[in-house]
Chain A
Amino acid sequence: MLIPCPHCGTRPAEEFTFLGDANVQRPTSLEDPNWNSYVYERDNPRGKIDEFAYHSGGCRAWLVVSRDTKTHEVFGAVIAKNFKRKQKS
């Protein structure tokens, strides 16, 4: 599997470390009721997923890689801070 790192170009997946769903957002308020959900609750979709990926064997940037868990197709990768999270429905 190849991942198009915005800094390093197309690189093999072995250079990356994954950290699950990138659409979760750390609550900004201590009173926010979503802390538990933020820490523990993750979807496990069959199909498209946006995942945090750390280019530990390259530029050491945190990226968000979009891929398909079924076909393993990689759609693209962006730098994590530029990733636009999906709004929770």
Chain B
Amino acid sequence: MTGFRIKNGGLIDRTSELNFKFDGKSFTGHQGDTLASALIANGVHLMGRSFKYHRPRGVISAGSSEPNALVELREGGRKEANTRATMIELYDGLIAQSQNRWPSLDFDVGAVTSLASSIFVAGFYYKTFMWPKSFWEKIYEPLIRKAAGLGTASREADPDTYEKSYAHCDLLVVGSGPAGLMAALTAARSGACVILADEGSALGGTLLFENEEIAGQSGFEWSQSVIAELASIPNVTLMPRTTIFGWFDGNIFGALERVNDHVAVPAPFEPRQRYWRIQAKRAILASGAEERPLVFGGNDVPGVMLASAMRHYSNRYAAAAGKSVAIFTNNDSALRTAHDFKQHGIHVEVIIDTRKGGRILNVKGGKGVAAIDAGKHLIACDAVAMSGGWSPIVNLMCHRGAKPIWNESIAAFTPPDVGAEFTAIGSAAGHMLLSECFADGVRAGTMKGKVPPAPKCRDEAFAIQPFWWVKESTGKAFIDYQNDATAKDLPLAAREGYGHVELAKRYTTTGMATDQGKLGNVNAIAILAEASGKTIAEMGTTTFRPFYTPVSFGAFTGPFTGRHFQPVRKTPLHGWAVEQGAVFVETGLWMRSSWFPKTGEDWLASASREVKSTRASVGLCDVSTLGKIDIHGKDAGIFLDRLYCNTFSTLSIGKARYGLMLREDGIVFDDGTTSRLAEDHYVMTTTTANAARMMSNIEFCHQVHWPELDVQYVSVTEQWAQMAVAGPKARATLQKLVDKLALNDETVPYLAAKAITIMGGVEARLFRISFSGEHAYELAVPADFGNAVARAIMHAGTEFGIVPYGVEALSIMRIEKGHVAGGELNGTTTAGDLGLGKMMSTKKDYIGRVMAQREGLVDPQRQCVVGIRPVDHTMKLRSGGHLLKQGDAPSMQADQGYICSVAWSPMLNMWLGLALLSNGRARHGEIIKVFDGLRGHHYLAEICDPVHFDAKNERLHA
């Protein structure tokens, strides 16, 4: 608890006072702080507990790689678990909780697992929870589930909104440090469309905290002048707070913009986060390099931090990690921390350089650093800055499968060459000097022509001698902080046969936590390589995959939640149906009127009444959802002949015909009525479900198979409102609307299709077709007239007691009549199975003709459509029941078929069904057993003709 606020300097606004709470305790910070920097300035180092051992942990980094300081941010529906304190911009009223501790962060009972740590070695899940087998479900699994995970998710709905957006640019620059700024500026000055994105709260990268000298200015001043110039150029988009999280095919980048995570509640109409898809002609990786920890005993004690993070906190946030600091390094860069601290007046107790043989064996202290054991003696200090070298942040360049390349001279993996579309510059490319960053930047930013000169700057020397692990350490030396993987786990994995880098990862869980091993992986690979007797280059890395940092589900979902989840299609008669009190059912995207209940009626009572009224007098049904395709052209008839298994070129003008279409494999695809309105003009109807598929199929058949045919087609499903008027009084009802045409069997015979006008000039199409088995018509009018015409029909039918009927009544009537629909057109049935085999023409080629003749598809033992009724007329039929011969026990071998569709028939006062039964047409009259395995019972039923009602079709022609 020795951190404090440095008196001067930093990019914080000391005039502001922001109040915030951490674990219920109140603190203050300043505008410009992160949660981590404000806690350090308040002397708080202990920010979390580790996953496995529940060890006390403090902040270790100052960026998105942070493995330790994960907190639950905000409360209620806005709570976000596992949020990095290092990335949380402080705002007034911020509330955060530490995670993975009980009962408190300061005193955690779970820390006793640390005492039993000998059983929690690598692979402990596999070793410990193996036996006895009976323990798994009751004891082990609940135990593991309780222990797993860090923060807890909110159970409340997120009240905030999220957006999705697209962007295109000539050049995307990932990272706004010196190299990125230079590249963006060079490209922008030449007129290129540039996007500059950085995950930090402010642009500038390392120039926000490193002491540099550029063109006679401080690094910070130089960066601000460049950012100001970029902001003034209209072809530049600056995107701070934006993480480029993935690189995808076609040079597409995914990005997450944290639009309003830095305030408590987003302003009205503003999203919390925005998910971007950026299409870049070229992209530059200027993501910089990540400092690595050194691996030594107690390298996880709160107060042990990366050397660069320590000077980041002191220089940018004026937050000192301690009063007396020890520095432990294997390279030159940590010396910058010593230099900067001297300027801040922070005491540097000792610099231990592995290149001179120095070692820290162990850090002494529990919840804070007390001293270090440097071998000969203890050195008192309250913070340790460590630097194990620098790893270029290569992740994005490896997202499409390329592997990074080991570079011995900087002891790090550098990005692979993935082509000119995406190139790495600066320290992301392993170029550790500032002058190299600028040289890379101007070169990469030059879109064409001569490369402009780079600004002059002072370089800090960089040299490194690889050093990975203080083997003499007796305390736990951590590699993966978040998953508590220690240096000893990796040689153990190698010894036990899990030495391959991908196996070792999973065996030890190194690199599998939410930070994906950003800090620890290279150390792990180096130690594993040594244990396996390989070089680091031979060992290689694990696979880099999106996402670079976690992306919230909200951002993926964007605005597509609730009623925006999918569009709703309403028919042109929707308004009329609402007036009539319809209950709607979702059919795909459509809202179809399902039944029209009167007071006190349930669905079955309503549908039954609708059927009875329709069959007794007249009913009106909205059938607008059926697919309607207009087909024109001199070859339209030939084209339809090739699509349908029956013939349409011979259809008389003014007539409709039921058509059946097969798939190329011979199975039935779809059915519907198609009418010929003129020599070269047909209108096709399809089932509701297949409307879109049919359109694309027609386009395929014409454009791919028969482009020579002169035919055009367009979907007019939404252009026409279509209604079925059915029942003995249908003609009398419609007659009142029709202009100047006497409806009779001569003018509009069965299967007539006629363009007429109604209601004094409204264009309409009248089809005398029937799905209900009644004397019926379908009337189509332009969609905008739909509601008015439906109301007029209801008015005209009032004297006959007209009723609206929905899809439930429609379905009952079609089952009564044995008409096949979705339950029978189920992707397994042939025309023959459906009793429609005679429709298959033998005089022409059509889709599916040849394959439909295959032996298995014409086998007389195939299951075909039959009617079915329970022997006991009070029994309820249910679809799905399997059919068996009376004496047979249920088995796959004995299975004879199954029930496809059922309905309560108000006309016959019993349940009726359609079934598929082996050789069914020859078995009418047979009593079979229906086995309902789901409900565990069986009953007897009679097989009959599918036409249950009005077998002679007398009503149709009445």
Q: Contacts A30-B845, A72-B249, A80-B704; is A60 near B699 (CB within 8 Å)?
A: yes
Are B696 and A54 in contact, with the CB atoms below 8 A? yes
Are A39 and B664 in contact, with the CB atoms below 8 A? yes
Are A61 and B849 in contact, with the CB atoms below 8 A? no
Complex A-B: 24 CB contacts under 8 Å: A17-B696, A19-B700, A26-B664, A26-B705, A27-B850, A30-B845, A35-B851, A36-B851, A39-B851, A40-B665, A52-B704, A54-B696, A54-B699, A56-B696, A60-B699, A61-B703, A62-B703, A62-B704, A72-B250, A74-B250, A80-B703, A80-B707, A81-B704, A81-B707
Are B696 and A30 in contact, with the CB atoms below 8 A? no
Interface of A is mostly: mixed
| B703 CB contacts on chain A under 8 angstroms | 61-62, 79-81
Residue of A nearest to B166 (CB): A12
The 10 closest A-B pairs by CB, nearest first: A81-B707, A72-B249, A62-B703, A1-B249, A35-B850, A2-B250, A1-B250, A80-B704, A80-B703, A39-B665
Considering the chains assembled together, what is the distance between the CA atoms of A17 and B699 in angstroms?
13
- In the complex, per-residue mask of B88-122: 1 if CB is within 8 Å of any chain A CB, else 0: 00000000000000000000000000000000000
Residue of A nearest to B277 (CB): A12
| A80 CB contacts on chain B under 8 angstroms | 703-704, 707
Considering the chains assembled together, what is the distance between the CA atoms of A13 and B250 in angstroms?
10
- In the complex, per-residue mask of B247-288: 1 if CB is within 8 Å of any chain A CB, else 0: 001101000000000000000000000000001000000000
16 additional contacts, CB 8 Å, given A39-B664, A52-B700, A62-B703? A2-B250, A2-B279, A17-B696, A26-B664, A30-B850, A32-B850, A35-B851, A39-B851, A54-B700, A56-B696, A60-B699, A61-B703, A72-B249, A72-B250, A80-B707, A81-B707
- In the complex, per-residue mask of A28-63: 1 if CB is within 8 Å of any chain B CB, else 0: 001010011011100000000000101010001110
Among B828-858, those with CB < 8 Å from A are 845, 849-851
Considering the chains assembled together, what is the distance between the CA atoms of A38 and B700 in angstroms?
15
| B845 CB contacts on chain A under 8 angstroms | 30
Nearest CB of chain A from residue B844's CB, rounded to whole Å: 10
Considering the chains assembled together, what is the distance between the CA atoms of A74 and B700 in angstroms?
22
| B252 CB contacts on chain A under 8 angstroms | 1
Nearest CB of chain A from residue B195's CB, rounded to whole Å: 18
Considering the chains assembled together, what is the distance between the CA atoms of A62 and B695 in angstroms?
12
Considering the chains assembled together, what is the distance between the CA atoms of A39 and B854 in angstroms?
13
Nearest CB of chain B from residue A85's CB, rounded to whole Å: 11
Most central of B695, B849, B850 by chain A CB within 10 Å:
B850
Q: Contacts A26-B705, A30-B845, A72-B249; is A62 near B699 (CB within 8 Å)?
A: yes
Considering the chains assembled together, what is the distance between the CA atoms of A17 and B696 in angstroms?
10
Nearest CB of chain A from residue B182's CB, rounded to whole Å: 29
| A19 CB contacts on chain B under 8 angstroms | 700
| B695 CB contacts on chain A under 8 angstroms | 60
Q: How large is the interface on B (under 10, 10 to 19, 20 to 34, 35 or more residues)?
A: 10 to 19
| B665 CB contacts on chain A under 8 angstroms | 39-40
Nearest CB of chain B from residue A67's CB, rounded to whole Å: 10
| A26 CB contacts on chain B under 8 angstroms | 664, 705
| B700 CB contacts on chain A under 8 angstroms | 19, 52, 54, 62
Considering the chains assembled together, what is the distance between the CA atoms of A37 and B851 in angstroms?
11
Considering the chains assembled together, what is the distance between the CA atoms of A80 and B46 in angstroms?
65
| A60 CB contacts on chain B under 8 angstroms | 695-696, 699
Nearest CB of chain A from residue B316's CB, rounded to whole Å: 40
Considering the chains assembled together, what is the distance between the CA atoms of A26 and B849 in angstroms?
12
Nearest CB of chain A from residue B639's CB, rounded to whole Å: 15
Most central of A30, A62, A74 by chain B CB within 10 Å:
A62
Considering the chains assembled together, what is the distance between the CA atoms of A79 and B707 in angstroms?
11
Considering the chains assembled together, what is the distance between the CA atoms of A17 and B700 in angstroms?
12
Considering the chains assembled together, what is the distance between the CA atoms of A56 and B864 in angstroms?
36
Nearest CB of chain B from residue A20's CB, rounded to whole Å: 12
| A35 CB contacts on chain B under 8 angstroms | 850-851
Among B693-740, those with CB < 8 Å from A are 695-696, 699-700, 703-705, 707
| A81 CB contacts on chain B under 8 angstroms | 703-704, 707
Considering the chains assembled together, what is the distance between the CA atoms of A2 and B851 in angstroms?
37
Considering the chains assembled together, what is the distance between the CA atoms of A28 and B695 in angstroms?
23
Considering the chains assembled together, what is the distance between the CA atoms of A12 and B849 in angstroms?
37
| B850 CB contacts on chain A under 8 angstroms | 27, 30, 32, 35
| B279 CB contacts on chain A under 8 angstroms | 2
Considering the chains assembled together, what is the distance between the CA atoms of A27 and B272 in angstroms?
57
Most central of A36, A61, A72, A80 by chain B CB within 10 Å:
A80
Residue of A nearest to B850 (CB): A35
Nearest CB of chain B from residue A80's CB, rounded to whole Å: 5
Considering the chains assembled together, what is the distance between the CA atoms of A35 and B705 in angstroms?
14
Residue of A nearest to B848 (CB): A39
Nearest CB of chain A from residue B697's CB, rounded to whole Å: 10
| B851 CB contacts on chain A under 8 angstroms | 35-36, 39
Residue of A nearest to B700 (CB): A62
Residue of A nearest to B663 (CB): A39
Residue of B nearest to A70 (CB): B401
Among B672-707, those with CB < 8 Å from A are 695-696, 699-700, 703-705, 707
Considering the chains assembled together, what is the distance between the CA atoms of A30 and B845 in angstroms?
7
Residue of A nearest to B847 (CB): A26
Considering the chains assembled together, what is the distance between the CA atoms of A35 and B699 in angstroms?
21
| A38 CB contacts on chain B under 8 angstroms | 664
Residue of A nearest to B665 (CB): A39
| B250 CB contacts on chain A under 8 angstroms | 1-2, 72, 74
| A32 CB contacts on chain B under 8 angstroms | 850
| A54 CB contacts on chain B under 8 angstroms | 696, 699-700
| A1 CB contacts on chain B under 8 angstroms | 249-250, 252
| A2 CB contacts on chain B under 8 angstroms | 250, 279
Nearest CB of chain B from residue A6's CB, rounded to whole Å: 12
Considering the chains assembled together, what is the distance between the CA atoms of A5 and B951 in angstroms?
54
Residue of B nearest to A19 (CB): B700
Among B420-443, those with CB < 8 Å from A are none
Considering the chains assembled together, what is the distance between the CA atoms of A17 and B693 in angstroms?
11
Residue of A nearest to B279 (CB): A2
Considering the chains assembled together, what is the distance between the CA atoms of A80 and B703 in angstroms?
7
Residue of A nearest to B845 (CB): A30
Residue of A nearest to B714 (CB): A60
Nearest CB of chain A from residue B472's CB, rounded to whole Å: 49
| A17 CB contacts on chain B under 8 angstroms | 696
Considering the chains assembled together, what is the distance between the CA atoms of A62 and B707 in angstroms?
11
Considering the chains assembled together, what is the distance between the CA atoms of A40 and B707 in angstroms?
23
Considering the chains assembled together, what is the distance between the CA atoms of A38 and B252 in angstroms?
36
| B664 CB contacts on chain A under 8 angstroms | 26, 38-39
Residue of A nearest to B715 (CB): A60
Nearest CB of chain B from residue A70's CB, rounded to whole Å: 10
| B704 CB contacts on chain A under 8 angstroms | 52, 62, 80-81
Residue of B nearest to A40 (CB): B665
Nearest CB of chain B from residue A16's CB, rounded to whole Å: 11
| A72 CB contacts on chain B under 8 angstroms | 249-250
| A79 CB contacts on chain B under 8 angstroms | 703
Considering the chains assembled together, what is the distance between the CA atoms of A72 and B418 in angstroms?
14
| B849 CB contacts on chain A under 8 angstroms | 30
Considering the chains assembled together, what is the distance between the CA atoms of A19 and B250 in angstroms?
21
| B705 CB contacts on chain A under 8 angstroms | 26
Nearest CB of chain A from residue B707's CB, rounded to whole Å: 4
Considering the chains assembled together, what is the distance between the CA atoms of A28 and B307 in angstroms?
75
Nearest CB of chain B from residue A2's CB, rounded to whole Å: 5
Residue of A nearest to B705 (CB): A26
Most central of A1, A35, A61 by chain B CB within 10 Å:
A35
Nearest CB of chain B from residue A73's CB, rounded to whole Å: 8
| A52 CB contacts on chain B under 8 angstroms | 700, 704
Considering the chains assembled together, what is the distance between the CA atoms of A81 and B664 in angstroms?
19
- In the complex, per-residue mask of B599-612: 1 if CB is within 8 Å of any chain A CB, else 0: 00000000000000
Considering the chains assembled together, what is the distance between the CA atoms of A72 and B851 in angstroms?
34
Among B613-670, those with CB < 8 Å from A are 664-665
Among A66-89, those with CB < 8 Å from B are 72, 74, 79-81
Nearest CB of chain B from residue A10's CB, rounded to whole Å: 9
Nearest CB of chain B from residue A8's CB, rounded to whole Å: 15
Residue of A nearest to B854 (CB): A36
